[in-house]
Structure 1
Amino acid sequence: MYRKAQEQETPPENFELPFGGQLASDNRWVIMAKMIPWSEFEAEYAAMFSEEIGAPAKTFRIALGALIIKEKLGIRERETVEQIRENPYLQYFIGMSVYSKKAPFDASMLVHFRERIDINVVNKINQEIVKQARETKEEVVKEKKSETEDSKSEPELPNRGKLILDASCAPADISYPTDFGLLNQARKQTETIIDILYTSLKVKKIKKPRTYRKIARKNYLAVAKKRKPTIKERRKAIKRQLQYMKRNFAHIQQLIDLGASLVNLSNSQYKILLVVAEIYRQQLWLYENKKQSIEDRIVSLSQPHIRPIVRGKAGKNVEFGAKFSASCYEGYVFLEHISWDNFNESKDLKSQVEAYKSYTGYYPESVHVDQIYRTRENQAWCKERGIRISGPPLGRPPKNVSPQTKKQALEDERIRNCIEGKFGQGKRRFSLGRVMAKLPHTSLTSIAISFLVMNLSTLLARVFCVFLCLLSKSRLFSLI
């Protein structure tokens, strides 16, 4: 059951504090609370709940606000709840009107908040927040222009602005996968499943199948503890693990034929059984064909949706997580395309430029991208719309390059560094560097929240810059 939150927002000066006083209106959490359109997306969140049946659910502002606080402060779930319980500004941010010493929710609720708030909702909120800020800025600019000169109506808006595009990967929280280690984990899971199925047949006095788990572990450690095992030793150890798994699968089928049912397995154990079977199929094919890669390769037993993403970066040739392409303009960054499978980001250029046009009302003046985006198709498409794409033209480079061309190339690279800085901010300051969520949809929501908080931080910094400018002017006038 969902109860709609109060329509009128409590002003910060009316927030009830047990020790008297009032909240400061220039606090960062008070300012950010005014930036987010809570009520516009509450109906979409409330549609997931029944109107009459069930316990009252936490409001949309509490759910989204808690996720923003966790991402903004860079803390875990339990610490997030403690910070909200201790800080009245955080309680105001999530929509409370009276300070309370009790925790507003349990730490485990943050998992449910990520499940209920979809990535598309977070992206819409991100776009709406930036849209409101841009409209406010444009109104101020129009007022200044109207004071100085008469405004002339233009029949069609020209290309304006600079659009920056790039792609990156959000690594998941998994250990570096190896074929040998993955097979060892899968083998141990099959042994656990054999124990569960055999327990259900103990009444029939059937002899328990032998799994040779001690010998299998001894063979695994004999190679795993070596600093640099040879290729021959590694292949021999992989072959042994595959043989152990083949025997275990035969025992599982034998127990099922004798009357054991997979109903005795929990949902997670049944899912792991399916994942282990696929891992065995993939690793057997790789071993028999002496290959190093296969489509839809599983690299994690607990998170089978994760795929290896070849990045070619120094020190990190391969990353394991979700690959995403993002756009950046006017200092704001937006999540455009995200997938667990590797994809060619150059195919997203057209859709990202069209999204920029539908969002702003005009095409960008220039698009700043790296080499992978500069295909003949993309360059021809941009040329038709009067969009300049950064970087040198395709083909053989000219012998003599003019100073203006060199200066333009340096300027384009300087502009493109903005999105690289955003990725660095997301991976060092926020959770893009290591996504701790385990489920595929909650991981995507966590990534989208990082982009939302980055834009909120940008807006907050600009508000404080305006405040400091006004403060310095007032002091200057007082001195005069």
Structure 2
Amino acid sequence: MKPEPTPDSLDPETLRAPKVLLAAIVDPLHPLVLVARMLDWRRFEGIFKTEYASSRGRPACPTRLLIGLHYLKYAFDLSDDACLARFSETPVWQYFCGYEYLVHQQPCHSTTLVKWRKRIKEVGAEFMLDETIAVGLRHGIINKKEFDQVVIDSTTQPKNIARPNTTKTLQDIRKKLIKESKRIGLKFKNSYERKGDKALFKYRLCRQRKDEKNAKKFLRNLRTYLGRVIRSLKKRSVDLSEKLISLISTAEKVLRGAEGKAPRVYSIHEPTECCFVKGKVFPRFKYGSKVSIATTARSCWLLTARSFSGMISDVRTLHDTVWTVKRIHGFWPKEVYLDKGYRGCEEECGMTKTFVKGCAASRSGPTKKWMKRRSSVEPIIGHLKHDHRMGRNFLRGRLGDQMNPVLAGCGFNIRKMLSVVKERAKFVYEHFYGRRAVKVIRVLKGAGKR
């Protein structure tokens, strides 16, 4: 029989889909379903309820939805928009985020996630990281003895900024000063717009011809134009806005950096980022912030990821990292194992003993055995950068530098939890639903094979 012809227009009533219960269509043995039942979502609601007004404004999105979206975003290396798009087409994700019925629309706009991250700050992200460890302790996936031996190492977190260019930075910051000044009604006798563009063009032309002498002359002209604009604005200090005062401060740092004086500004919109030279062939330089990672030596669960501003040595990050582990999880590690970059801090850090690779104390007894596990943190750093959005930080400002590694750690622990639960799926399901349900599933699977 031939198929029926497709009508030109469909009745809106026929297009309206009935409500579909998610519990009826998702696989009860799916790792995300089991982890969703293991996490203590009520704990987050009690922690974050103080961040909202009691009666003013539009009702906020559910706390479980926003936390679940961030867990999934960093576990599967997605942007805000990609995470919301995948949420609308994946029933298991909707079940994980607390939805009861299947929906086909995105739950919120991507800017809602941005505003929520600014609301909870780094402390809220640390609560999310703590829950990924606490759920493992509650259900016997993590042994408490694993926290006795901890490995700490540091790495760089590159920021999403363009490769620095001194002449372009001088030109861009001068244009930003002029634009903001015109917005508030200030006028200039000379803004050097055409002269600046001409000097930048001739500088690039001289560099292409390898005429370094004339290139230095045009670079000096660009510095002179920026300096004159800054001095002209500082004479009118009464009429300046807060944004313009901040831009003037950044412009002065850019000018000093162009003259070879520290500290240097590598990006106008991210003036706090630093340049790290790692001694590698490629990339030779990395522009961002330093991050200290702490993991368990036995099973490699991530305990904390702390971001530091400025050019800071590894030795100066150790005490803050150990203290952060104590503040988030409530315990002092008994022993911490470090690489040679931490030489000079062999003494105790709080209630924690430190062992540096190559020192005499690390070559005898059980310490030698655990020192062999020190290198286990290196592949974890690689996974954080390539699989959990720490390879390029897209979150803005200093708050973004602090939150991104912590949320990347949440994603790493969630992925690790999913792999463990996948291996033990039948046992976890038996814990929640009883042995009889597991037997029924086994019988049904056997009947399907036949």
TM-score (norm 1): 0.73
Match of 2:102 in 1: 99
- Root-mean-square deviation over aligned CA pairs: 3.9
Question: Which residue, out of 187, 191, 202, partners 1:222?
Answer: 202
Match of 1:333 in 2: 302
What is the CA–CA distance in structure 2 between the aligned matches of 1:138 and 1:458, rounded to whole Å? 11
Is 1:389 aligned to 2:355, yes or no? yes
Change (3 A) 1:335 1:221: farther
Deviating more after overlay: 61-70 vs 351-360: 351-360
Is 1:437 aligned to 2:395, yes or no? yes
Partner SS, residue 338 of structure 1: strand
Match of 1:175 in 2: 162
- Equivalent positions of 1:17-36 (< 5 A) are 17=20, 21-36=24-39
Which letter maps to 1:166? D
Partner SS, residue 163 of structure 1: strand
Unpaired runs of 5+ residues, structure 2, are 1-18, 430-438
Contact residue 194 and residue 248 of structure 1 kept, 8 A = no
Is 1:315 aligned to 2:297, yes or no? no
Change (3 A) 1:238 1:57: same
Match of 1:367 in 2: 336
Which letter maps to 2:420? R
Which letter maps to 2:376? C
Partner SS, residue 60 of structure 2: coil
Match of 1:239 in 2: 220
Contact residue 64 and residue 113 of structure 1 kept, 8 A = no
Is 1:458 aligned to 2:416, yes or no? yes
Unpaired runs of 5+ residues, structure 1, are 1-15, 143-156, 202-207, 396-403
Which letter maps to 1:432? M
Is 1:299 aligned to 2:266, yes or no? yes
Which letter maps to 2:357? G
Change (3 A) 1:331 1:98: same
Q: How many residues align?
A: 410
Q: Per-residue displacement from partner, 1:251-284 (whole Å, max 9, x unpaired)?
A: 4457x49xx9445xxx75664344224423x23x
What is the CA–CA distance in structure 2 between the aligned matches of 1:212 and 1:356, rounded to whole Å? 53
Deviating more after overlay: 228-237 vs 341-350: 228-237
What is the CA–CA distance in structure 1 between the aligned matches of 2:354 and 2:397, rounded to whole Å? 41
Contact residue 324 and residue 335 of structure 1 kept, 8 A = no
Change (3 A) 1:337 1:103: closer
What is the CA–CA distance in structure 2 between the aligned matches of 1:429 and 1:386, rounded to whole Å? 31
Partner SS, residue 368 of structure 1: strand
Is 1:186 aligned to 2:173, yes or no? yes
Change (3 A) 1:352 1:106: closer
Which letter maps to 1:294? A
TM-aligned CA deviation for residue 459 of structure 1 = 1.4
Change (3 A) 1:443 1:95: farther
TM-aligned CA deviation for residue 133 of structure 1 = 1.0
Which letter maps to 1:299? Y
TM-aligned CA deviation for residue 172 of structure 1 = 0.6
Change (3 A) 1:62 1:363: closer
- Equivalent positions of 1:47-446 (< 5 A) are 47-137=50-140, 161-196=148-183, 209-224=189-204, 226-227=207-208, 229=210, 232-252=213-233, 256=236, 261-262=239-240, 271-280=246-255, 282-283=256-257, 287=259, 291=260, 294-295=262-263, 297-329=264-296, 330-350=299-319, 352=321, 359=329, 363-364=333-334, 367-375=336-344, 378-381=345-348, 387=353, 389-393=355-359, 414-446=372-404
Change (3 A) 1:438 1:387: closer
TM-aligned CA deviation for residue 362 of structure 1 = 7.0
Contact residue 35 and residue 129 of structure 1 kept, 8 A = no
Q: Per-residue displacement from partner, 1:421-457 (whole Å, max 9, x unpaired)?
A: 1110011112101011123213422221111110111
Change (3 A) 1:234 1:63: farther
What is the CA–CA distance in structure 2 between the aligned matches of 1:20 and 1:133, rounded to whole Å? 24
Deviating more after overlay: 411-420 vs 45-54: 411-420
Deviating more after overlay: 385-394 vs 80-89: 385-394
Partner SS, residue 275 of structure 2: strand
TM-score (norm 2): 0.77
Q: Per-residue displacement from partner, 1:93-121 (whole Å, max 9, x unpaired)?
A: 22222222222111221211211122122
What is the CA–CA distance in structure 1 between the aligned matches of 2:200 and 2:424, rounded to whole Å? 62
Percent identical: 16
Partner SS, residue 47 of structure 1: helix
What is the CA–CA distance in structure 1 between the aligned matches of 2:154 and 2:382, rounded to whole Å? 12
Change (3 A) 1:250 1:128: closer
Change (3 A) 1:337 1:234: farther
Partner SS, residue 266 of structure 2: coil
Contact residue 45 and residue 116 of structure 1 kept, 8 A = no
Q: Per-residue displacement from partner, 1:396-424 (whole Å, max 9, x unpaired)?
A: xxxxxxxx98x997x66752222111110
TM-aligned CA deviation for residue 164 of structure 1 = 0.9
Deviating more after overlay: 458-467 vs 163-172: 458-467
Partner SS, residue 325 of structure 1: strand
Match of 1:152 in 2: none
TM-aligned CA deviation for residue 55 of structure 1 = 1.0
TM-aligned CA deviation for residue 372 of structure 1 = 1.9
What is the CA–CA distance in structure 1 between the aligned matches of 2:203 and 2:40, rounded to whole Å? 57
What is the CA–CA distance in structure 2 between the aligned matches of 1:115 and 1:385, rounded to whole Å? 34
Change (3 A) 1:348 1:279: closer
Contact residue 30 and residue 422 of structure 2 kept, 8 A = no
What is the CA–CA distance in structure 1 between the aligned matches of 2:23 and 2:314, rounded to whole Å? 55
